[in-house]
Amino acid sequence: MRKEWRIEPEDITPARTIIRMEEQERAGQFGGLFGDGPDPDEEAEPSHIQSIDRAFAILETIAASRTPMKLKDIAQQTGLRTTTCFNLLDALVRRGYVRRNPYPKVYYLGRRLSRLSRGGGAAGLDLESAAAARLRRLSDSTDLTSVFTVFQGRDLTVTASALPATPNAIPLAAYTEGLAGAAHASALGKAILAWLPEARIAEVVAKHGLTAFNGRSIGSLGELGESLRQIRRHGFAVEDGEYIDGISAVAVAIRDAQGGVAAAVGCLLPRDSDCILRIRETRGPLAEIASEIAGIL
């Protein structure tokens, strides 16, 4: 397939975001996978942080399933060894975040999560509810389809959206059909990937690969690494028909006060001669909405 040029953030604006030192260090960790990172003698990510990340991956995987899950299925979907997955599940069961049915032996979410969401921090946990009204406002002000995405396990998932009143709005049905495995080719996926630990990015790529939807799609880890560096540098991600021909997008990550990424919000627009101008015009309102949602974390 012949490679084609695609729009990147540097084609939209030369302006760069101000990145705190700890965020620069986090961005530097992509060297192992993408070839531009920290000194090889630098200490690796602490094992307890890796365990926390894996435990969240397990919770997200179970939450995304409509039925209780077997150990082997959870391990397969999270990419963990069965013994590692069992030990983490055992800890989550003891804490009440996961329940284990003795026969058949399956796992499902425990009541502890519900109690947490009903507590004083419920607003911080219910991002989708916080996003819904703001997406409507964003669509009304831009006349574009607005979308809110998260990673459920390793799958990019739309959890909230809003359509403008205009008749030529981008429909969501066709766009979301294969989105789970198109994080590398979508602005919403790349906006989140740019701030994830390298291990999580590797897990997503290991499950879904880097599908070449067309000649503009990212097809190598080197390309992906460069694209993610630009996103961190400029503060937003763009999509130039690399997932679905004829559809462009701009997206911004939703990040907490510590710099961790929780989700992404973006707008879909037609890929035409005006798309660069439309992206430039949309970045401001989009960044404001992202900041409002991030403020409740």
Residues of the chain with CATH 3.30.450.40: 9-36+120-294
CATH topology classification for 9-36+120-294: Beta-Lactamase (3.30.450)
Which of 12-21, 72-81, 137-146, 254-263 is the least confident region? 12-21
Q: Mean pLDDT over residues 278-283, rounded? A: 94
Asked whether residue 15 carries a pLDDT value surpassing 50, the answer given is yes
pLDDT digits (tens, 9 = 90+) for 248-263: 999 999 987 777 888 9
Residue whose entry in the numeric block shows the structure tokens 């990510």: 45
Give the pLDDT score at 175.
92
- Global pTM reads 0.69
Residue 218's contacts (CB-CB under 8 Å, 6 or more residues apart) are 184, 185, 210, 224, 227, 242
Q: Which residue has the higher pLDDT, 4 or 290?
A: 290
Q: Which of 41-55, 147-161, 186-200 has the lowest mean pLDDT?
A: 41-55
Centre a 10 Å sphere on the Cβ of residue 227 and count the other Cβ atoms it contains.
21
Percent of the chain beyond pLDDT 70? 83
Q: What is the pLDDT of residue 37?
A: 43
Q: Are 95 and 102 in contact (CB under 8 A)?
A: no
Q: Is the dihedral of CA 1, 224, 248, 178 positive or negative?
A: positive
Half-sphere exposure of 270 toward its Cβ, with a 13 Å CA cutoff?
A: 8
Residue 45: is its pLDDT beyond 80? no
* Mean pLDDT estimate for the chain: 83
Average pLDDT of the residues in 154-158 = 92
Domain with CATH 1.10.10.10 in the chain: 47-109
Q: Which CATH number is associated with domain 47-109?
A: 1.10.10.10
pLDDT in tens, 223-249: 999 999 999 999 999 999 999 999 999
**Which residues are within 8 A (CB) of 72 and not within 5 positions of it... i.e. 6 or more apart?**
82
Give the pLDDT of residue 134. Answer: 93
Flag the least confident range among 18-22, 95-99, 105-109, 211-215.
18-22
Residue owning tokens 């989700």? 263
Confidence of residue 40 (pLDDT cuts 50, 70, 90): very low
Whole-number pLDDT of residue 70: 93
Distance between CA atoms of 291 and 129, rounded to whole angstroms? 15
pLDDT of the residue at 197:
86
Q: Is the pLDDT of residue 201 over 80?
A: yes
